[in-house]
A = this chain, B = another copy of it.
């Protein structure tokens, strides 16, 4: 593994992978960096640079073998295995994620669902029963959970994450709109829909192509 891989490179690899899988379904044999870049909305040089960080996967003059490159990217991203995931927060968003087929398809298996709400505890979700978040540690250890999906209110997220980390969780997908603090070696990725809407609001307000001047301020 190269010492320095930027976050944007990883995100692009994930994007390439989705495209490569679609191409593989369409029976595609080879892709050039130019084609892959066009599909991903980036440049050919960027594609080649991204891939070359991890090895030499193409053939000069011919491009990349679609199926093989997909395998390599999957391997780089660590998707060659299954991940055991616990979902904390059995609300609307949690429920939507639980049903989200793309997670399972990528090897992320939700093996426990927890909530504080007594009305929810005991509900059957697929083959699982919603458990009391009081027994978080027990559930995480029982199921060998490594990744936590957090969809609880912002005020409760930190406490839950602290407990989960103490129980061995090392990766967190955080939907709570709060800045989580964790020790080194624990990775947190945020999904913040409000932030994206606000960025959209900024664009619509300030990045209008022509006319609006820069008279403000």
Contact = CB atoms under 8 A, between A and B. Distances in A.
B95 A202 contact: no
Q: How many copies does the complex hold?
A: 2
Interface centre among A13, A77, A106 (most CB of B within 10 A): A77
B185 A209 contact: yes
Contacts of A178: 18
Contacts of A50: none
A54 B216 CA distance: 9
Interface string A1-39: 111010100110111011100000000000000000001
Contact of A10 (B83, B179, B202, B209): B202
A206 interface: yes
A52 to B, nearest CB: 11
Contact of A209 (B184, B202, B216): B184
Interface residues of A, number: 71
A3 B187 CA distance: 34
A163 B5 CA distance: 39
Interface of A: 1-3, 5, 7, 10-11, 13-15, 17-19, 39-41, 54-55, 76-79, 83, 91-93, 95-97, 99-100, 102-103, 106, 108, 146-147, 170-173, 177-179, 184-185, 187, 189-209, 214, 216-217
